[in-house]
Amino acid sequence: MCLSGTFHAVHQEADATPARPDGPAGRFSRRAALVGAAAAAATVTMPAACAQTASRRLGTVRDLTHVFRAGFPVYAGDPPGRRTVATIEDTGFYVQTWSFAEHMGTHLDAPGHVVPGGRLVPELDPEEMFAPIAVIGISGRAEQGPDAMVEVGDLRDYERRHGRIPNRAVVCMYSGWERRVHDPAAYRNPSPDGRLHFPGFGLEAVEWLLEQRGILALGVDTLSLDIGASTDFPVHKRLLGADRYGLENLANLGQIPPRGAEAIVGIVPWEKGSGGPCRVLARW
């Protein structure tokens, strides 16, 4: 087995190992670690075979990240801003300066975003940045009503169609909301009273995913894990309170398979960061 297959070997073992109810998801068993180590060691003796296998396993890669741009829709506050501070013509190099809050664009919410003493971005384990993806589609309901939620019934229906949600997965809601992203008013979708309206996860579904499937993270193609009309953010509190993380403003979830893709999440380890803009890729 080649190094490019090590991740898959470990996850096959992790899927067969029940999630620990008393600790964060993503901790491999000793057996899984040995499987991965053996797979990595095998690459030393089979370089030619590994090169051929790696090329076959490259597969398809899809970017799940919106371009981080000035004016990107925000939940609250000022949108990102930028200005040019040096040009190639004037100085020989090109540089911009940006102003933005941590939770803008395609970004990650660390546990410390809502949990006192919760882990911050630099404390996230590198292994947590790789995980299988399960995409739960609710775009039909979202078209009928912007306050649609991912419910337990959606999760059960997903498993009937695509098989069990893997342990330690990033479970993503695909609502089709990204079609509005270039119109901030439509993306935020405020009612006359100022309350926002867009889809998100329901609390019962999150409870089920944490307790029954040992998930690693949630992802959404909207501004918030909670529905836009929420005022007390129960999904944020429950998920991040369980020492998991969230991904918001994801793109292209409708262009990846509901099951079988691997998420790769890259984020700068901002000092004391409660989250931050990130690059999220899917590979299958």
Q: What is the pLDDT along the chain (284 residues), one digit of tens a residue?
A: 444 444 444 444 445 444 443 444 444 444 444 434 444 444 444 444 444 444 456 699 999 999 999 999 999 999 999 999 999 999 999 999 999 999 999 999 999 999 999 999 999 999 999 999 999 999 999 999 999 999 999 999 999 999 999 999 999 999 999 999 999 999 999 999 999 999 999 999 999 999 999 999 999 999 999 999 999 999 999 999 999 999 999 999 999 999 999 999 999 999 999 999 999 999 99
Question: Tokens in use for 101?
Answer: 């809050």
Distance, CA of 249 to CA of 228 (rounded, Å): 13
**165/169 Cα distance (integer angstroms):** 7
What are residue 276's DSSP bridge partners? 108
pTM summary value = 0.81
User: What are the residue ranges spanned by the domains of the chain?
Assistant: 3-58, 63-283
Note whether 73 and 33 are within 8 A (CB): no
> What tokens appear for 196 in the block?
């926002």
Residues in the chain, overall count: 284
Long-range own/partner contacts, residues 185-192 (CB < 8 A, 24 or more apart): 187/73, 187/222, 187/223, 188/73, 188/75, 188/223, 188/228, 189/146, 189/228
Q: What is the 3-state secondary structure (H, E, C) of 48-98?
A: HHHHHHHHHHCCCEEECECCCCCCCCCCCCCCCEEEEEECHHHHCCCEEEE
Instruction: Give me the phi and psi of 164, to 5 degrees please.
Output: -60, 135
Give the pLDDT confidence score for residue 278 in this predicted structure: 98
Superfamily name and number for 63-283? Putative cyclase (3.50.30.50)
